């Protein structure tokens, strides 16, 4: 690569990590029933498309899952950890108030010196983090970046609220993003609108040793659905236009895995056939910032996404935040 050539960034490695404990709908229904909360496998499946989720044990944190996913992504492309010169972790469930989860992942990988920081955009976090990493590679600040989405949402759920507790799971996904003279990330667009902050939030914090507000996730599901579908359609079209392409050029759509109805509606609005929409919400539930890289890893490793394919990655979540990254593999 000459010093005057434009620098692109390409996804060269993918990886993921899930907790050991798999909880099927039937298992969850039984556990909730013991607490006097009525629901059913059919009710969950019909409304969400979720069949199961993974729940982390107490010692497994976002940094633990993030480091496992990072190692898998490094192994995928045969890269040593000390080749990494940037780590960005997207998470809404960090291990600590500080230091960042990214610094803990850096420690666990046995490397030091490179920048490491977290991005907090909830379920849009991974596309936000990927966009930041792409910009830092493009301006020469980094050559090989780990971009990770890692969450343990099970710890901020109100297990007496059947409208939210059945929706989420824990997990992590990661990519290795490397400088290249060939186009990889073609375009990205990010947005936020804080006027909608009350629709999906965990409105609590720690002050003077006590929890102020609520430590649990709350959501207006119907309002989130309507906004999510509209925003994902709009930002998807905006992103392909920025790349000089059209929605017909999307080979695969990898949206945030929130709810099967949102995935199906987004695909229809964008005109992407259902068989070209990657769906893993049935297996992982909603893992927030981890959902897009988890789904991407699944589709790359099973051979659906191959070299030459153009892939639209999309996130939408609390904030309200939303965004898309259009990627050439």
CATH number of the domain enclosing 277: 3.40.47.10
Say what the pLDDT of residue 55 is: 98
Nearest to 256 by CA among 237, 232, 274: 232
- CA 114/CA 313 separation, integer angstroms: 26
316 and 169 assigned to the same domain: no
163 with 36, same domain? yes
The count of domains in the chain is 2
Contacts 24+ apart (CB under 8 A), 270-277: 270/232, 270/233, 270/236, 270/237, 270/312, 271/247, 272/247, 272/312, 276/250, 276/251, 276/252, 277/252, 277/253
Query: Is the residue at 110 inside a domain?
Result: yes
In tens digits, the chain (329 residues) has pLDDT values of 445 688 999 999 999 999 999 999 999 999 999 988 899 999 999 999 999 999 999 999 999 999 999 999 999 999 999 999 999 999 999 999 999 999 999 999 999 999 999 999 999 999 999 999 999 999 999 999 999 999 999 999 999 999 999 999 999 999 999 999 999 999 999 999 999 999 999 999 999 999 999 999 999 999 999 999 999 999 999 999 999 999 999 999 999 999 999 999 999 999 999 999 999 999 999 999 999 999 999 999 999 999 999 999 999 999 999 999 999 99
Indicate whether 32 belongs to any domain: yes
Which segments of 114-175 does DSSP mark as H helices, in order?
125-138, 162-165
133 and 213 in a single domain? The answer is no
**Token pair recorded at residue 178:** 């490397």
Whether 174 and 33 map to the same domain: the answer is: yes
Q: What pLDDT score does 4 carry?
A: 66
**What is the model's pLDDT at position 5?**
81
Task: Tell me: do 142 and 253 sit in the same domain.
Answer: no
Say what the pLDDT of residue 50 is: 98
Q: What are phi and psi of 208, to 5 degrees?
A: 55, 35
Same-domain status, 197 and 135: no
pTM of the model: 0.97
Q: 289 and 171 in one domain?
A: no
Residues classed as catalytic: 123, 256, 286
Q: Say how far residue 66 (Cα) sits from the centre of its chain.
A: 12
Domain match, 117 and 201 both: no
Q: Is residue 1 part of a domain?
A: no
> Domain range spanning residue 206?
185-328
Examine the fold and report which residue of 180, 202, 226 is the final residue of a domain before the chain moves on.
180
Beta carbons of 305 and 299 less than 8 angstroms apart: yes
Question: Which pLDDT belongs to residue 76?
Answer: 98
Which helix (H) or strand (E) segment holds residue 198: the answer is: none
């Amino acid at each position: 690569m000459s010093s005057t050539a434009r620098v692109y960034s390409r996804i060269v490695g993918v990886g993921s990590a899930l907790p050991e404990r798999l909880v099927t709908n039937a298992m969850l229904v039984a556990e909730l029933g013991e607490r006097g909360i009525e629901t059913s496998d059919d009710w969950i499946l019909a409304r969400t498309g979720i069949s199961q989720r993974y729940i982390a044990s107490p010692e497994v944190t976002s940094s633990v899952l993030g480091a496992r996913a990072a190692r898998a992504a490094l192994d995928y492309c045969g890269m040593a950890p000390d080749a990494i010169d940037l780590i960005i972790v997207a998470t809404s469930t960090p291990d600590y108030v500080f230091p960042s989860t990214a610094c803990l992942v850096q420690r666990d990988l046995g490397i030091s010196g490179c920048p490491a920081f977290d991005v907090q955009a909830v379920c849009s976090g991974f596309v936000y983090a990927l966009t930041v990493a792409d910009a830092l590679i493009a301006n020469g600040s980094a050559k090989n970046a780990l971009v990770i989405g890692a969450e343990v949402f099970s710890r901020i759920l109100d297990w007496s609220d059947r409208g939210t507790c059945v929706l989420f799971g824990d997990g992590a996904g990661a990519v290795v993003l490397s400088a290249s003279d060939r186009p990889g990330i073609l375009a990205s667009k990010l947005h936020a609108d804080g006027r909608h902050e009350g629709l999906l939030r965990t409105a609590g914090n720690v002050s003077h040793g006590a929890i102020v507000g609520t430590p649990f996730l709350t959501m207006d599901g119907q309002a989130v659905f309507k906004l999510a579908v509209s925003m994902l359609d709009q930002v998807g079209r905006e992103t392909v236009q920025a790349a000089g392409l059209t929605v017909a050029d999307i080979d695969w759509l990898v949206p945030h895995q929130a709810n099967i109805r949102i995935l199906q509606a987004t695909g229809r609005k964008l005109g992407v056939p259902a068989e070209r929409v990657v769906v893993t919400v049935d297996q992982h539930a909603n893992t927030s910032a981890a959902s897009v890289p988890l789904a991407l890893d699944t589709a790359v490793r099973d051979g659906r996404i191959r070299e030459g394919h153009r892939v639209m990655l999309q996130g939408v979540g609390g904030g309200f935040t939303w965004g898309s990254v259009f990627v050439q593999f």
